[in-house]
């Protein structure tokens, strides 16, 4: 009994330490964004600012036209991408979960093969820019991430196989329900945890994506929020384009404040999906 208590105490201590280490970077980032510019440059990061200032957020408020458009583009891209990608992944995964599917092993091998090899950056760029002509369009931020992810497919397929009673599917089939009817009326209503998990994973991927914008966008007016943040990180003078209020930009702290604006929506949304996320990722990864 005493040994068990020691183990629990040690486990809690380790988890508390890991939690602190996970939270600390965010705390330092937030505090840096509220620090006066010269103090931040001179003293660096600190747990509490030596001199408080809202200059970075005031500057971003003056530039809200740029950030507001970036947010709008990212929201549109994320919502559209999540809806289409989740639907494609669910349908393909459900198909692979059916034991009587002709060529099921070959399709499964094809999915697993993509985890080991891909087409490469050069060929992918040529295909999207010269064949599909998505360069300098919003489709450049949506279509590349629509390619089904092998991990997502495997996770959802395992959920369909191990967490949905096959007797329900067979009963619906005996009652004359089509395969599409079984999928939409039986399988999907029982798949809320994995749908929420998949939606969260895909949504975070779309929200944090900046590589596709870097590859396929030359027009900065199409930049999403992450591409704007990347441009600020590469060149702080990016925020000064198109004039402004005439004030001097707090270079270091404005980068921290911009980063806070970039991650804030994910921090707000995640707690609402946490229960579904844990349940869905566990069921989809273990069973099957």
Backbone Cα Rg of the chain: 24
> Does residue 140 contact residue 212 with C-beta atoms inside 8 Å?
yes
Closest to 266 (Cα-Cα) out of 75, 51, 122:
75
Q: Which pLDDT belongs to residue 245?
A: 45
Residue 16 pLDDT: 93
Least confident of 9-23, 218-232, 260-274: 260-274
Coil vs helix vs strand at 137? coil
pLDDT recorded at residue 87: 92
Task: Please report the pLDDT score of residue 74 as a whole number.
Answer: 92
Q: What predicted TM-score, i.e. pTM, was given to this entire model?
A: 0.78
Which pLDDT value is given to residue 276? 63
User: Is 285 a residue whose pLDDT tops 60?
Assistant: no
Mean local confidence (pLDDT), 79-100: 90
Shortest CA distance to 223 belongs to which of 234, 211, 235, 236? 211
* Per-residue pLDDT at 169: 86
Domain boundaries, the chain: 22-53, 62-286
Determine what percent of the chain is predicted with pLDDT higher than 90. 14
Q: Is the pLDDT of residue 257 over 70?
A: yes
Mean pLDDT of the chain: 82
Q: What is the pLDDT of residues 12-56, one digit of tens each?
A: 899 999 999 988 988 888 888 888 888 877 777 788 888 888 888
What local confidence, expressed as pLDDT, does residue 81 receive?
92
Report the C-alpha gap between 8 and 165 in whole angstroms: 36
Q: What is the pLDDT of residues 65-86, one digit of tens each?
A: 878 888 899 999 999 999 999 9
For residues 130-136, give the mean pLDDT: 89
CATH number listed for the domain at residues 62-286 = 1.10.3720.10
Query: For 232-246, what is the mean pLDDT?
Result: 58
pLDDT of residue 287: 47
**Interacting residues of 286 by C-beta distance below 8 A, sequence separation 6+:** 158, 162
Phi first, then psi, for residue 138 (nearest 5°) are -65, -20
Distant-in-sequence, close-in-space partners of 138: CB < 8 Å, separation ≥ 6: 73, 76, 77, 222
Give residue-wise pLDDT tens across range 148-204.
Answer: 688 888 889 988 888 888 888 888 888 888 888 989 988 888 888 889 888 888 998
């Amino acid at each position: 009994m005493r040994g068990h208590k020691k183990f629990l105490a040690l486990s809690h201590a380790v988890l508390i330490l890991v939690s602190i280490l996970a939270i600390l970077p965010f705390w330092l980032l937030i505090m840096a964004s509220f620090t006066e510019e010269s103090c931040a440059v001179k003293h660096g990061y600190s747990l509490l600012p030596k001199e408080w200032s809202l200059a970075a957020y005031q500057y971003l408020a003056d530039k809200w036209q740029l950030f507001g458009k970036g947010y709008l583009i990212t929201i549109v891209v994320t919502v559209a991408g999540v809806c289409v990608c989740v639907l494609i992944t669910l349908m393909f995964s459900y198909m692979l979960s059916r034991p009587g599917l002709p060529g099921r092993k070959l399709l499964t091998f094809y999915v697993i093969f993509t985890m080991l090899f891909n087409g490469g950056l050069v060929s992918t760029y040529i295909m999207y820019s010269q064949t599909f002509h998505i360069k300098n369009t919003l489709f450049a931020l949506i279509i590349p991430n629509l390619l089904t992810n092998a991990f997502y497919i495997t996770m959802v397929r395992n959920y369909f196989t191990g967490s949905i009673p096959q007797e329900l599917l067979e009963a619906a089939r005996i009652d004359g329900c089509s395969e599409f009817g079984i999928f939409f009326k039986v399988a999907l209503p029982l798949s809320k945890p994995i749908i929420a998990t998949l939606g969260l994973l895909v949504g975070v991927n779309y929200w944090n994506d900046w590589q596709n914008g870097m590859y396929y966008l030359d027009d900065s007016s199409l930049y999403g929020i992450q591409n704007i943040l990347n441009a600020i990180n590469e060149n702080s003078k990016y925020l000064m384009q198109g004039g402004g209020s005439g004030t001097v930009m707090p270079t270091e702290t404005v980068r921290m404040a911009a980063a806070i604006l970039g991650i804030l929506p994910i921090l707000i949304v995640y707690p609402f999906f946490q229960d579904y996320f844990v349940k869905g990722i566990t069921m989809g990864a273990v069973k099957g």
